[in-house]
Amino acid sequence: MAATPRGTSPVPPDVRPRLTVLSGPSGVGKSTVVAHMRKEHPDVWLSVSATTRRPRPGEKHGVHYFFVSDEEMDKLIANGELLEWAEFAGNRYGTPRDAVIERLESGEPVLLEIDLQGARQVRASMSDALLVFLAPPSWEELVRRLTGRGTEPPEVIERRLQAAKIELAAEPEFDTTLVNTSVEDVARELLALMEVV
């Protein structure tokens, strides 16, 4: 099955969505799709979030995330340095505001890979943002991907699957849905939605 847009609500053709949000349950393939897309289009700018989560093997500070302490996260929030932030499965995550604003002001497309709560905050503060939901081909496949990734212990996987039920139920809040059957197809669809190609 291709990455068919599902339940697409119309985006006026003359409005270029400059801020795109990609959300979807843990394990659906967001990072994989974004990495594939940026391999071919390194010019697409992806915001690097701050998180209190511990790094996974291979994750680099400043590349995958800014890994911060609880105290540092408290400060970022208190100083208004985050465009949005949320607690997800026991850790906090937030988007540094200034870097996003700078890119938008220079007219560059911006991509945020954030959770449902963050997507809702962006919707509220930036009404012209394009919200894209990445859905799994099936619940069973989502469980298989999250488990198969092997980065979380069973109790964390369980917590993320509970969150996934809530996220999947919120799909109608998004402007469009891409089903992640083929990474290549989804990456192409996403680039087209961002009007990069």
Ligand X SMILES: Nc1nc2c(ncn2[C@@H]2O[C@H](COP(=O)(O)OP(=O)(O)O)[C@@H](O)[C@H]2O)c(=O)[nH]1
Ligand Y SMILES: Nc1ncnc2c1ncn2[C@@H]1O[C@H](COP(=O)(O)OP(=O)(O)O)[C@@H](O)[C@H]1O
Residue 31 is a binding residue for ligand X (CB under 6 A): yes
Residue 145 is a binding residue for ligand Y (CB under 6 A): yes
Q: Which does 115 bind (CB under 5 to 8 A by kind): ligand X, ligand Y, none?
A: ligand X
DSSP-assigned letter for residue 44: S
3-class DSSP state of 51: strand
- Widest Cα–Cα separation across the chain: 47
Binding mask 90-129 for ligand Y (x = CB under 6 A): ----------------------------------------
153's enclosing H/E stretch is none
Q: Report the distance separating Cα 76 and Cα 68, nearest Å.
A: 10
Residue 110 is a binding residue for ligand X (CB under 6 A): no
Q: Which residue is nearest to ligand X (CB)?
A: 118
Among 18, 20, 21, 27, binds ligand X (CB under 6 A): 27
Binding mask 85-104 for ligand X (x = CB under 6 A): xx-x----xxx---------
Q: Report the distance separating Cα 129 and Cα 163, nearest Å.
A: 23
Q: Which does 148 bind (CB under 5 to 8 A by kind): ligand Y, ligand X, none?
A: ligand Y
Q: Which does 32 bind (CB under 5 to 8 A by kind): ligand Y, ligand X, none?
A: ligand Y
Which of 104, 98, 92, 78 has the alpha carbon at shortest distance from 21? 104
Q: Which does 117 bind (CB under 5 to 8 A by kind): ligand Y, ligand X, none?
A: ligand X
Which of 130, 110, 116 has the alpha carbon at shortest distance from 48? 110
Q: Across the strands, what pairs with 135?
A: 179
Q: How many CB atoms lie within 10 A of CB 37?
A: 24
DSSP-assigned letter for residue 62: T
Between residue 15 and residue 44, which ones bind ligand Y under the rule CB under 6 A? 24, 26-32
First to last CA, the chain: 22
Q: Which residues bind ligand Y (CB under 6 A)?
A: 24, 26-32, 145, 148-149, 180-183
Q: Residues interacting with ligand X, by CB under 6 A?
A: 26-27, 30-31, 49, 53, 84-86, 88, 93-95, 113-115, 117-118
